[in-house]
Amino acid sequence: MGFGQPQWLWGLIAAPIGVAASLLWWFADRRRGAAFADPALLARVMGGRRSRATLKTVMVLVALLLTVAAAARPQVGHEWQTALGSGVDVVVAIDVSTSMRAADAGFARSRLYGALAIVDRLVSRLEYDRVALVTFTDEATTICPMTADMGAVLTMLDGVDYESVGEGGTALAAAVREACERFDPKESRGRVVIILSDGEDQEQGVEEAVAEAKRLGAVVHTVGIGTTEGARIPLGSGLFGGTVYKEYQGQTVVTRLDEAALKRVAEGTGGTYRHATAESTADGLVGVIRAAAGKGRTVRTVTTAREAFQPLIALALVLLIVEALVPSRSVGRRPVAP
């Protein structure tokens, strides 16, 4: 059992407050009555008024609690529903090389974290598509196979870190080849590859890999992370707390975004290149994925929780109706004095 809007459960705090207020009123009423007349005589005069007043108060309090619980939308069990929509197969390849440590993404503390923020937003907005995740340096590996379970994709995305595929440089060819291997040749769905990288390609063979992607009908879109001005590559903290930067032959290494390399990869398959300036870069990627979605249809079975607030509302209404019908004092003929 769960709740669709659990924040309403805080309203159940009204229960002990209401009970405490009712008890205070009851004791105060008894003290006033004791000061007015003898308890035995007062009981004869009042009849069952106090009992009815207590009953009416309890019914109102219970109705209030039932209403609050209903507002929290209790949900029990699940209903299976089949949804039909258009979707494509998407492979997202993320550069995790050393240069992705550079802090010139602008909207994140490093290039890699900027890329991850974009992918997180992208995956969260997909519906009928299937997604696979690839990470790469000078080699590539699949960290999440093709799946329609976006929750699983986001879970695997949380584990992505620097150099999780080795400590080499960037090989766009390896990323493209690994991404293409994730597509099922028996499927006629649209195929989209999204590469997020700084484009500092240090390997050969990217033209051949792009040609193979085009032959398979995959469209490669690239996203450039970083700036063309470049930035140093932090490696950690030094002995006295300062930041240590990557060096080569005694010189500090500056890594720069290579937009030209990323544009060539995208244009080779009819894809697009975009420079990442914010997490909202993902919105443009969602657009190109939806544009390709007409090439395939997806039948997706989903579960939805059954709402169970209706009985609570009905019971609350019954209690309020009964409370209104219960008289505050006894109805009958007044006894005649002898």
Q: Using one digit for the tens of pLDDT, what is the confidence trace for 75-118?
A: 876 655 555 566 889 999 999 999 999 999 888 899 999 999 99
Tokens 């590539």, residue? Answer: 140
Q: What residue numbers bound the domain in which 258 lies?
A: 82-300
Q: Is residue 255 part of a domain?
A: yes
Q: Is residue 330 part of a domain?
A: no
Same domain, 145 and 235: yes
CATH number at residue 238: 3.40.50.410
| CA 219/CA 140 separation, integer angstroms | 19
Q: Is residue 277 part of a domain?
A: yes
In tens, the pLDDT along 246-270 reads 888 889 999 999 999 999 999 999 9
Q: What is the mean pLDDT of residues 3-19?
A: 77
| CA 217/CA 272 separation, integer angstroms | 15
Q: Is residue 331 part of a domain?
A: no
Write out the two tokens for 120.
Answer: 């997180």
Instruction: Say what the pTM is.
Output: 0.65
Nearest to 152 by CA among 179, 115, 126, 178: 126
Q: Is residue 333 part of a domain?
A: no
Q: State the Cα torsion 26-32-37-43 to the nearest 10°.
A: -10
Q: Is residue 332 part of a domain?
A: no
pLDDT above 90: percentage of residues in the chain: 44
Write out the two tokens for 166.
Answer: 């080795």
Q: What is the mean pLDDT of residues 154-177?
A: 88
Write out the two tokens for 251.
Answer: 């010189």
Q: What is the mean pLDDT of residues 107-136?
A: 93
Strands 251-252, 247-248: pairing is antiparallel
Same domain, 103 and 189: yes
123 vs 326, higher pLDDT: 123
Angle at 9 between CA 6 and CA 76, to 5 degrees: 55
Q: What is the pLDDT of residue 127?
A: 82
256 DSSP assignment: -
For residue 309, report the phi and psi dihedrals to the nearest 5 degrees: -85, -20
Same domain, 270 and 139: yes
Exposure string of 252-266, with b = 16+ CB inside 10 Å and e = fewer, is ebebbbbbebbbbbb
Same domain, 160 and 235: yes
Nearest to 93 by CA among 149, 131, 147, 150: 131
| CA 258/CA 263 separation, integer angstroms | 9
Q: What is the pLDDT of residue 12?
A: 77
Write out the two tokens for 254.
Answer: 């500056």
Question: pLDDT at residue 330 above 80?
Answer: no
| CA 172/CA 262 separation, integer angstroms | 9
Residues pairing with 220 in the sheet: 193
Q: What is the pLDDT of residue 83?
A: 53
